[in-house]
Amino acid sequence: MTSAPSSLRSSLESAQTTVTAEVGPPRGADPGAVRRKVEPLRGWVDAVNIPDGQSAHVRMSNWAGSLLALDAGVEPVMQVTCRDRNRIALQSDLMSAAALGIPNVVLMTGDHPRFGDHPDAKPVFDLDGVQLVWTARTMRDEGRLLSGRKLDPPPSWLIGAVENPFAPPVRFRAARLGKKAAAGADFVQTQFVFDVPAFTRWMADVRDLGLDRRCKILAGVGPVRSLRALEFMSNNIPGLWIPDDIGRRLRGVPAGRVADEGLTICVEIIQQILQIPGVSGVHVMAPGFEHGIPEVLARAGLARAALDQPGQAEPATAGTASSTRAAGITGAGGGSRHAH
């Protein structure tokens, strides 16, 4: 096995509430932009997701952001979409991620370029999200590429998927997670949960199918911090809509207190979600507000005892297979890793 052991895996296998958070990579060449977003999360989250051209916009690459997160001492979850790469590039990137010590991947179809900053781009979609999960499982567990050729040594990442419990056909959304679990997903991160009753119904379907035992479930959450954000999220994020009662609550407070009310709603949602049987934790998405995530977690009662955080790790790019292995993350929950 070439990638470092995953502390996200240890957390998901334990009884504790797992917390992951999304860190949006910058549009620019400053590596410090990732470090500044990741560092405040050290000790608060088990891992940070690094998106792959979030919402079909050009950003720093998923793998580069993941390495910078490793460097800043937090375990990355590298997101990979099918939008921009065919099966040759996808498998190469997945293999490379393992070689560089990226211990977790989350695999999805991805947004169509039409919504991004390059709507004129060619959409690839050579594989779909289920097939990409299936490909990764084949690479890891069978040690084979889609061509049948051997991988030596095979990667060992934890494989994640995504699901939107709220998009039609709602009745079949749990079954769709079932396909991803059958294809090999170890865990799933969901779309933003704002409609807790709908999420509760989806979770009941998930438990009926026994999926929560095969595939750990992290519910997507995040604060709405302004009325403009409410508008934007409702109208511009495919497959996301926010129930009216949340809109009413946000509009019902003075302009200066909307952000705080949004935070309060987010905290309440987290607390309600964690009561639902079968939920392993939360995935916090707060684009542009990553520094506020610890406050959300603290108010939701998810503060942790300060973890032992060793000093700054060196860039992971220099690690050979053997030194990467030797330098793997050790203690469960410890988010830092050194490459020599």
Partner 1 sequence: VRPRPPAWLLYRIQPLLAPNTFYGRLAEWLERSRGRYRIFAAAEKTVKNEIFGCRMCGQCTLPVTGYACPMTCPKQLRNGPCGGVGSDGSCEVYPDQRCVWLVACERADDNGRIADLQLLQRPIDYRGWGQSSWVNYWSGRDDDLWTTGDGPAPAIERRAPAAGPR
Q: If residue 247 lies in a helix (H) or strand (E), which one and from where to where?
A: helix 244-251
Cis peptide before 40 (omega within 30 of 0): no
Among 112, 201, 249, 299, binds partner 1 (CB under 8 A): 112
Of 28-36, 107-115, 263-271, 311-319, the window that binds partner 1 (rule: CB under 8 A) is 107-115
Query: Among residues 48 and 130, whose Cβ is nearest to partner 1?
Result: 130
Of 150-158, 225-233, 237-245, 325-333, the window that binds partner 1 (rule: CB under 8 A) is 237-245
> Which stretches within 252-300 are classed as H helix?
258-273, 293-299
What's 220-244 look like in SS3?
Answer: EECCCCCHHHHHHHHHHCCCCCCCH
Among 73, 76, 129, 333, binds partner 1 (CB under 8 A): 129
Query: Among residues 146 and 196, whose Cβ is nearest to partner 1?
Result: 146
Whether 44 contacts 80, CB under 8 Å: no
* 243 forms part of the interface with partner 1 (CB under 8 A): no
- Rg over alpha carbons for the chain, rounded to the nearest Å, is 19
Residue 163 β-bridge partners: 190
* 135 forms part of the interface with partner 1 (CB under 8 A): yes
Of 132-140, 225-233, 250-258, 265-273, the window that binds partner 1 (rule: CB under 8 A) is 132-140
* 1 forms part of the interface with partner 1 (CB under 8 A): no
174 vs 225: CA distance, rounded Å: 30
User: b/e string for 129-155 if b means 16 or more Cβ within 10 A?
Assistant: bbbbbbbbbbbbeeeebeeeeebeebb
* 197 forms part of the interface with partner 1 (CB under 8 A): no
Q: How many CB atoms lie within 10 A of CB 285?
A: 22
Query: Among residues 70 and 80, whose Cβ is nearest to partner 1?
Result: 80
Question: Which of the residues 71 through 100 are near partner 1 (CB under 8 A)?
Answer: 82, 87
The torsion angles phi and psi of 97, rounded to 5 degrees, stand at: -60, -40
CA atoms within 13 A on the CB side of 326: 7
Question: Which of the residues 155 through 194 are near partner 1 (CB under 8 A)?
Answer: 162-164, 166-169, 172, 175-176, 178-179, 182-183, 191
Taking the complex as a whole, how short is the minimal distance between the CB of residue 123 and partner 1, in angstroms?
7
Query: Among residues 87 and 207, whose Cβ is nearest to partner 1?
Result: 87
How many residues belong to the site for partner 1 (CB under 8 A)? 42
Residue 81 β-bridge partners: 108
Question: Which of the residues 35 through 54 are near partner 1 (CB under 8 A)?
Answer: none
* 327 forms part of the interface with partner 1 (CB under 8 A): no
Interface ranges with partner 1 (CB under 8 A): 82, 87, 109, 111-112, 114-115, 123, 125-131, 134-135, 137-138, 141-142, 144, 146, 148, 162-164, 166-169, 172, 175-176, 178-179, 182-183, 191, 238-239, 241
